[in-house]
Structure 1
Amino acid sequence: MHTMSPDGTAQANAPDQLQAFRMYIDGEWCESASGRWLETKNPYTGKAWAVIPRGNADDVDRAVQAANRAFVGGPWATMHPSDRGLLLHRVGDLIAANAERLAELEVRDNGKLKVEMLGQMKYLPRWFQYYGGLADKIEGRMPPTDKKGMLHYVSYEPIGVVGAITPWNSPLLLTVWKIAPALAAGNTLVIKPSEFASTSLLALVELFEQAGFPKGVINVVTGLGAETGEPLVEHPFVDRIAFTGGNLAGRKIYEAAARQFKRVSLELGGKSPNIVFGDAGIEDAVKGVISGIFAASGQTCMAGSRLLLHSSIHDTFLARLVEVTRAARLGDPNSPETDVGPVATEQQLQKVLDYITLAKAEGARCILGGRRASGGDCGDGWFVEPTIFADVTNGMRIAREEVFGPILSVIKFDTDDEAIALANDTPFGLAAGLWTTDLARAMTLPKRLRAGTVWVNAYRVVSYLSPFGGFKESGIGRENGIEAIYEYLEAKSVFINPKPSISNPFTLQ
């Protein structure tokens, strides 16, 4: 039997015939304190297939208390960094062995293509190998001091309890970007996954249990943002917040964290430019543009949703782009023949369709798509046709606001300076792409782009070795690379005076 909660969210009173997942708190699998459940739906069928606990502030408090105990007094607190690294390596091995199952859960939850999700799952172990290797290489420094006779050193220490709030579009990948460096640095975690995509993370945590992580080190509380996310951010024992998601939620989290001066990292939205110059190889650039916006149905923060196209190739390029995109196959995300899957939620489906209506009202010209796709291989799923708008100006809302769907805005330019000005004329600054065969342009223009990642003759490339994050409203802090581990450490300065001799206690020493 299922009912609707006051906010319209599907709520299950009991698991019934649906698969039931449970939260993980202090080394135990448990239901929510309230005994309530939430349905999770398959975007390809539009039907519920599982239930997750609808957590609340009591569940969050239990999880945070457990994480705090593990940090200050459990075996994790005294574990040698080399042993922490070995545990991370063990998790990586278990992920590799369970990649197929994890990928299947991701597809059911968010509708991403199985071929991409399986590739991500097989790549995830690299994060645990990399940060597992870094765990015992966090070295202090002994910089020179001008204080005569004193010993001075700097140590790097874990921050404490990390509250991680993660999205529905690539649940495991974007959560692992937080888990691996946080644990390598010695912190403990309470994770609040998206209520739309929690099951794969709960399956991942089973592997941490198998690997032998002490209880309380990693905890997962599922539920709605207002009922679990907000209490997590505001809990006094949470020392740091790591968030990936939309700008509105990011702003609220930043404001709430500021009231307690918590450390934060925010990986937020984007309106990234994919710039194609007149000398670019058209076939490769067309594929790069498609990869940037129609892969993952446009549901990536780094989506190249603005195509800046040089006027000399504008018509030729668009004709080829439309031709190739029109051939994309929509359908079952589990099929290797499918190119574009559904969007992940009913709410997101409506948001994308609303932006299509808005773009037409603004005067943008729809040259491909522009409708919900249904029937045939799409069935009753939440599909939107890959959509291309021409005659877009950079002032239109369709060019300034993050849609998070398969909608491309095409903007014409004439000069390099104009392209850079258009690219940077956005509140966001997460990523950018350049397509050119001119070596001088490839070497000089990335520095002029206000974006955290710039690809030249490529798009949508990430690595555990390379820092990822945004400028401006695209966020704060960096994930991945060696930079990420320092996001989860505090620097401490220590001065030791071996022979105290205080001449004047009322002056700065």
Structure 2
Amino acid sequence: MGSRGGGGLVIGASVAQPVTPDQVHGLLVGGDRITASSLPHHTHIFPATGRPNAAVTLAGKPEIDLAVASAWDAHREWTALTVDRRRDLLINLADVVGAHLDELAALNVHDYAVPVSFAGTALLLERFLRHFAGYVDKPLGSSTPVDGSFDINLVERDPYGVVGVIAPWNGALAVAGSCIAPALAAGNAVVFKPSELAPLASLRFGELCLQAGLPRGLVNVVPAGPEGGDALVRHPGVRKIHFTGGGDTARRVLQAAASNLTPVVAELGGKSASVIFADADLDAAAMLSAHQGPLMQSGQSCACASRILVQDRVYDAFVEKFLAVVTSAEIGDPFDPAVVFGPVVSDAAAHRILSTVDAAVRARAGSLLTGGRRISGDLAAGYYIEPTVFGDVDNTSELARTETFGPVVSVIRFGDAADAVRLANDTSYGLNAFVHTRDLNRAHSVARRLEAGSVWINTFSDIAPQGPYGGYKQSGFGRTGGAEGLQEFLQVKNIRIGMGARS
């Protein structure tokens, strides 16, 4: 640490430093920084202090138009390169990202005050880039025989051309890896819209793409709010959208994309269950459930295990261990490597989460075991909320059914495996599920019956580029990662060559 980020942001300080007017973080379009746009600058607030941290240029419709045009020019340049050249450039990008991991991690902290101990999505970005670079020069098509003919029948897979990638504030670098890497490997150019709440690491990634030798405009980074996002989704030059975020925004994205019949991939929220069987290693299960639940990113994750289902006969023992982990978590300055729990993203988020807690207490959804208040003292200026645990929660309650997106979890009792599966599946979401047991047969049996896109057994949501990731039900559709994630950025073409009768 101790280097400087893009636009003059100081990296490695114990608190975020306010920027001066000459340190505006501009859009990255066609390889150029644009600091003057059709919209006013956004004042980025550092959630740990509640103080201004940066001035950020926002993209409106004119800037989106410029970015899409630039992307089409870069797409033509990109696909004119040989596959080995494109592969080598993506490998070089992975190397460049790898050389800047500390800087990107620090910018992640500045973005939304995630503790630096959890800011490892820069490493995930590097891994995705390196993995998908390997697909560039591999066969993606096939040929098949044709009934009643000796014709040559080719099945090819073409890029869409220009794709729009919309990232949430809580995981822009992870989305850059899981979406931009396969999009580029497939031959597309990208217009990347990070949230205005967390744009800094994404803008630096765009600069690293240029440093690695990628064509100017192949990756355009356009921080934007709802106006810019709507312009991107409605743009006739954008051939596919990949959206990561909440269900309400996804509905608006789908409605806007319908104007041009633009296909959309959506990774949405979750209300994931972590199922603790009596034979589990309770110490390990308590540690994993605490970090996958209220602690990691302060519960601000679509992968958050916010419903913890515990078998009756170990319920009390597990809760005791779980609360010990949660209440001993180090809270404070997110740049301190010892800190594991930071603030939520904004003052509005803090009020929303505390309102959810108050409503759950009034409704007697469960017993409040710990937390439920805003943290005062030295951290009062930031948006810190105590890790909050409710016990003996009714699975039909609003607390158990609505995604809180904050450090609030519900502990729920179950009897046998069938009861656990019923409770886990009794939700409109289906992104992740977690199972803790030493019984291999039970692990397989339960995992196969859980309605979730990913099931993690005796581990946390350790996303890897080799594994397809996405949701069931209202947690979305489409996948990132693996061969399935690459196919999302390719469209199928059939070419038939008439050969006439065999002589």
- Asked if TM exceeds 0.5, the reply is yes
Which residue of structure 2 aligns with residue 105 of structure 1? 107
Q: Percent identity?
A: 36
Return the alpha-carbon distance in structure 2 between the equivalents of residues 275 and 429 of structure 1.
14
* CA deviation profile, 1:143-190 (whole Å, cap 9, x unmatched): 121041321110111011101110111221122211100000000111
Amino acid at match of 1:241: I
Q: 1:138 to 1:403 in 2, by over 3 A?
A: farther
Q: Distance between the aligned counterparts of 2:332 and 2:22, measured in 1? A: 24
- TM-score, normalised with respect to structure 1: 0.92
- What is the DSSP-based 3-state SS (H/G/I as helix, E as strand, rest coil) of the residue aligned with 1:65? helix
Instruction: Tell me the distance in 2 between the aligned counterparts of 1:426 and 1:482.
Output: 29
Q: Partners of 2:441 and 2:19 in 1: how far apart?
A: 61
> Are 1:38 and 1:223, in contact at CA under 8 Å, matched by a contact in 2?
no
Q: How does 1:16-415 map to 2 (within 5 A)?
A: 16-17=20-21, 19-34=23-38, 36-71=40-75, 74-117=76-119, 119-225=120-226, 227-293=227-293, 294-363=295-364, 364-376=366-378, 378-415=379-416
Shift of 1:365: 1.3
Asked if the contact 2:115–2:341 (Cα under 8 Å) also holds between the matched residues in 1, the reply is: yes
Q: Separation in 2 of the partners of 1:247 and 1:138?
A: 36
Deviates further, 228-237 or 31-40: 31-40
What TM-score, normalized by structure 2, do the two folds share?
A: 0.93
Does the residue aligned with 2:203 lie in a helix, a strand or coil? Answer: helix
Alpha-carbon distance between aligned partners in 2 of 1:44 and 1:33, rounded to the nearest angstrom: 29
- Distance in 2, matches of 1:191 and 1:123, equals 17
State the 1:87 CA deviation: 1.0
Aligned residue identity for 1:432: A
Question: Is the Cα–Cα contact under 8 Å of residues 75 and 214 in structure 1 kept in the other structure?
Answer: yes
Show structure 2 runs of 5+ residues with no match.
1-17
Do 2:117 and 2:340's aligned partners in 1 also have CA atoms closer than 8 Å?
no
Per-residue CA deviations over 1:232-263 (Å, capped at 9, x if unaligned) read 00001100000111110111112222332212
- Distance, in Å, in 1 between the alignment partners of 2:47 and 2:264 is 32
| Equivalent residue pairs, number | 483
* Contact map agreement 2:115 2:342 (CA 8 A) in 1: yes
Provide the rounded CA distance (Å) in 2 between the counterparts of 1:35 and 1:404: 29
Matched AA of 1:34: S
1:110 partner amino acid: Y
Alpha-carbon shift at residue 63 of structure 1 (Å): 0.7
Is the CA contact (8 Å cut-off) linking 1:18 and 1:51 kept in structure 2? Answer: no
Measured against aligned partners, the alpha-carbon deviations of 1:358-397 in whole angstroms (never above 9, x if no partner) come to: 1112202101011011213x24111110100012111111
Give SS of 2:107's match.
helix
RMSD of aligned alpha carbons: 1.6
Shift in Å at residue 499 of structure 1?
A: 3.2
Runs of 4+ in 1 over 6 A off after TM superposition: none
Describe the shift of the 1:201–1:436 C-alpha distance in structure 2 as closer, same or farther (beyond 3 A): same
Given that 1:297 and 1:343 are in contact with CA atoms closer than 8 Å, whether structure 2 keeps it comes out as yes
Alignment correspondent of 2:15: none
Distance 1:268 1:353 in 2: 23
Does the CA-based 8 Å contact 1:280-1:437 persist in structure 2? yes
SS across alignment from 2:302: coil
Offset, 1:211: 1.1
Confirm or deny: 8 A CA contact 2:77 2:215 kept in the other structure.
Answer: yes
Paired AA for residue 31 in structure 2? G
Distance of aligned partners of 1:91 and 1:483 in 2 relative to their CA distance in 1, 3 Å threshold: same
Q: Which structure 1 residue ranges, 5 or more long, are not aligned?
A: 1-13, 502-509
Tell me the distance in 2 between the aligned counterparts of 1:380 and 1:249. Answer: 29
Change (3 A) 1:435 1:446: same
State the distance in 1 between where 2:486 and 2:220 align: 20
8 A contact 2:19–2:53 mirrored in 1: no
Contact 2:125 2:176 (8 Å CA) reproduced = no
| Separation in structure 1 between the aligned mates of residue 147 and residue 410 of structure 2, nearest angstrom | 58
Between 199-208 and 29-38, the greater mean CA deviation after superposition: 29-38
- Which amino acid in the other structure matches residue 59 of structure 2? G
CA positional deviation for 1:62: 0.8
AA aligned opposite 1:146: D
* Residue in structure 2 matched with residue 498 of structure 1 by the alignment: 499
Structure-1 separation of matches of 2:318 and 2:27: 50
